[in-house]
Structure 1
């Protein structure tokens, strides 16, 4: 589809933001930028071909990454030589809109380069990319050898397992064949046509999606996918081993344990950084980057500080928010609520009664039978599997799972 006489999907997004003047909209498509002069033959440099939708956007993002030498927009993966934008955008050639990234591996490893790239795209959509629909805009990594294939596959699998994105990754791994450079007016489009580029980018929804996944501070306080994976693995592995509960009386099966808050020093020693931040500083962990948001095992959730029983898996459901959500607490005697006016909104905060740990918030948009959504932080809780309830002093709650066991 020729940009000089037709409106592509990209400009449909642009028009959704504002109506440009005819003079601006139909301005010359050809860039006055000089061709880049980069010594790509340097033996120390590597190249990688990547697809993440609009190459205006992926080129603009990757050129800002330290260690990247050059980024060129183009096409790969199709069946005809020297394809044009008109042919590729029709979706009939098999090509994908891609960028060729030249980078210095002594500064930027292959995984780190993929890490930066994946944080700028939607790797879960194999039907297109944001406003641009069709297989010519699907996400892909073109590998040049078996080592790159294995590294990319392993990294994608780790990201998937960590649940960083809201959906399973569908980024295709394709053996690299040929890279065709796109027309000159596509190169450095964000520099040569800044106004039109900004309108398109905003209208495409790319940045809104990335803010939702990585947070609105992703540019000022960036966190790599590797860091997010490592943090989740550390949190998942540390929680069970770190916590020991004490009660006023070591309860017998007939007595109700009496829970209390340990000293500040004991709490600091007991909790890791994210647990302390959430429970003691009223923090919030990242959605989809916490151990219990997708936990489907039967059992109960107790306060990470005191051991107070809070919620049961029998009342847990997938709210789509990325945090563990419940329709009700096990026993309302173990929680307290109060009005929270932070973040320019009024919410109802949920805290544990005895430890006074910040747990999360309760909302009135939940499912039946209560209509409530107790949106909790994994970092404020410890999960006790149903088979360990008696051993850990929570035997009375085994009755919650008797009907489930009979059904099985």
Structure 2
């Protein structure tokens, strides 16, 4: 693949069991494909069993084909650090051994520089207890794993959930990335209402919120991290007193989960990368899908279409039939 001609690049990350390293990146905007495989060793076309013997020098890894103009490498690195324990040089969580160590395999000098800066940021943050031992190495031959191991979280959902929960990854991530300091920073960044809504699943009053009757054209972004979530083009008057939409801009930036609170069975909606609570999705909206995303205004920030390009969201001007003159980064 000619990366310059195609506008696509490769990113390769080792973070322990490759079953757990696909889902965090999958279906995000700009992600073309994710392959589980083996790399870094001295044998050709290794098998799962051979790598498991710890004699091939390979590690389990994922190779991501992505469009940097849409989803920059920096953001891939952010997601990567949130999946691993970079202080563990003996494996990852339940999986022990050389083949489960953490490595960032870089494909060019730009990636190497960004990886080094990102690693240094983890050291400075003192988020992790202990030295950061994750290696940064030049990418070499990558060998796709057997079909069984591709998209395991989709093809073996029950086994995947049991493994993920039992491995200790989720518990570690919650402790490290949702600690007191993180909550303190969010309280300083957000208003009291915004914090209550996005972090504690609060609910603002109907007809007494900022965007329920907004008529301007533009995008609604995540108030926590700026990810573009909804467009005014998909907004409709639901009569409920909250901003309502027929669909998100990018399905990959939304996460749905069961909500059994208040004695009801509903589907809650979160912003996938920030995990901010947004509202609920119902099935009483307009035809043909009948989808109705009822979202709290306090979880959103509106950006008028005239401001999109200067806010780094120029690629969405096409939603408003405005020509795009140049490629704009997905990052704000």
Report the TM-score when normalising by structure 2: 0.53
Please show how residues 275-314 of structure 1 align to structure 2 within 5 Å: none
Relative contact order (C-alpha < 8 Å, sep 6+): which is higher?
2
How many residue pairs end up in the alignment?
191
How far 1:192 sits from its partner (Å)?
Answer: 0.7
How far 1:79 sits from its partner (Å)?
Answer: 0.3
- Judged with a 3 Å threshold, the aligned counterparts in structure 2 of structure 1 residues 203 and 144 are, in CA distance, closer, same or farther, namely same
Please show how residues 385-396 of structure 1 align to structure 2 within 5 Å: none
For the 8 Å contact 2:10–2:107, the answer to whether it is kept is: no
Q: Give 1:240's aligned residue.
A: none
- Judged with a 3 Å threshold, the aligned counterparts in structure 2 of structure 1 residues 81 and 209 are, in CA distance, closer, same or farther, namely same
Q: Give 1:273's aligned residue.
A: 188
- Judged with a 3 Å threshold, the aligned counterparts in structure 2 of structure 1 residues 170 and 134 are, in CA distance, closer, same or farther, namely same
Deviations 1:142-182 (A, max 9, x none): 01222221211111101210112233211101111100000
For the 8 Å contact 2:18–2:60, the answer to whether it is kept is: yes
**1: CA distance, partners of 2:32 / 2:170:** 24
Give 3-state SS (helix, strand or coil) of 1:62's partner.
coil
Please show how residues 377-392 of structure 1 align to structure 2 within 5 Å: none
**2:133 paired with 1:170:** yes
Select the residue among 122, 139, 149 that pairs with 1:186: 149
**2: CA distance, partners of 1:96 / 1:77:** 6
**2: CA distance, partners of 1:73 / 1:137:** 13
For the 8 Å contact 1:88–1:95, the answer to whether it is kept is: yes
For the 8 Å contact 1:65–1:116, the answer to whether it is kept is: no
Larger Rg: 1
- Judged with a 3 Å threshold, the aligned counterparts in structure 2 of structure 1 residues 146 and 118 are, in CA distance, closer, same or farther, namely same
Q: Give 2:293's aligned residue.
A: none
Q: Give 2:277's aligned residue.
A: none
**2:5 paired with 1:46:** no
- Judged with a 3 Å threshold, the aligned counterparts in structure 2 of structure 1 residues 48 and 184 are, in CA distance, closer, same or farther, namely same
Report the TM-score when normalising by structure 1: 0.43
For the 8 Å contact 2:59–2:98, the answer to whether it is kept is: yes
- Judged with a 3 Å threshold, the aligned counterparts in structure 2 of structure 1 residues 274 and 167 are, in CA distance, closer, same or farther, namely farther
Gaps of 5+ in 1: 1-38, 218-222, 233-271, 282-408
Q: Give 1:116's aligned residue.
A: 79
How far 1:216 sits from its partner (Å)?
Answer: 8.4
Deviations 1:230-252 (A, max 9, x none): x69xxxxxxxxxxxxxxxxxxxx
For the 8 Å contact 1:73–1:100, the answer to whether it is kept is: yes
For the 8 Å contact 1:40–1:102, the answer to whether it is kept is: no
Q: Give 2:59's aligned residue.
A: 96
Select the residue among 94, 99, 105 that pairs with 1:142: 105
Select the residue among 84, 89, 96 that pairs with 1:126: 89
Please show how residues 9-408 of structure 1 align to structure 2 within 5 Å: 43-215=6-178, 273=188
Q: Could you say which structure has the higher strand fraction?
A: 2
- Judged with a 3 Å threshold, the aligned counterparts in structure 2 of structure 1 residues 129 and 159 are, in CA distance, closer, same or farther, namely same
